[in-house]
Structure 1
């Protein structure tokens, strides 16, 4: 029976495929997927399900996949209930607090914060002892302080370029983010040998990359 792996679509697909290929996984069907969302490897050892990040956690929690490859931002925001076995150390970025140049981080009074990550944002301001109103935004978070919807934003950034291009400044750095290998609890009991075998191979690749650097 193949291991079912939910893989987050988008920018981490290519580096994940490179990592898996180096670990001996046949990723050719995944590279040539066209518009397919469910892809089997030629040896039927693995089945990949391409999904949005939040859906990966849903699939894991419902038990329809054995493994999820997803960002730690999603895992934290959606209160991950499964086993996180490995940091794949790709897709690295960081949460930041950003706003316009006139924002005062220590100003008294309640502020409005725009974000795609209300739980993470609320926890951050609670740790500072500050009371804020959090507005969830699904699209371009950078717009919120520019159009007066929010005083500041909490978002993830890789290079900070988008923030700079929109005249936004970083006022604080929150948690770092990377891609994680997460396993459904029941699958770990039923398919432990296959799962740990893949984890060991991936871990060896990650360690070798560090040595090369």
Structure 2
């Protein structure tokens, strides 16, 4: 991270160690680029190679370069590892719902990154769309997804693994219109499993799924 305060006391892990560490895995999920745009906006110094700090969209070139180096290092160790790159989700409002003003910009950012890694062998993009009008962020750290947001991302990753034949069985998921659905008792199984606000309980019934305690 450009901001030393965001790095914390834990030293950076060399890329070679990451690649060796995941060798032999069936799948690896990369989501480490989510703060690249924020670094450009909030870093206290010109840590991008000089005094000219790029704007939000110009950070996509840095992100793509970083992702490609990571992906290629992983595949140099083990070309059979499926790499899934998880999209950045939208920004949060103070009420812990999606900031609709951020949607267009982050959609453009994700599209640029997706295009930048397109064609990389055994590498796939995973969308991460959050619904508006639903509390999907933590109260402890509003920039991070709560359990509802995590549920959406986990379902998307599982769906991607099933589509790429990493898993033999996947979820029966409704389309994106189900993400904001909250009338849980009226939902069918596929829409319930896609919804941020519902889940299938142990008895097989679609039940409300809360935002968690933080």
- TM bucket (normalised to shorter chain) is under 0.3
Relative contact order higher in (CA < 8 Å, ≥ 6 apart): 1
> If the length of structure 2 is used for normalisation, what is the TM-score?
0.27
> If the length of structure 1 is used for normalisation, what is the TM-score?
0.27
Say which one has the larger Rg.
1
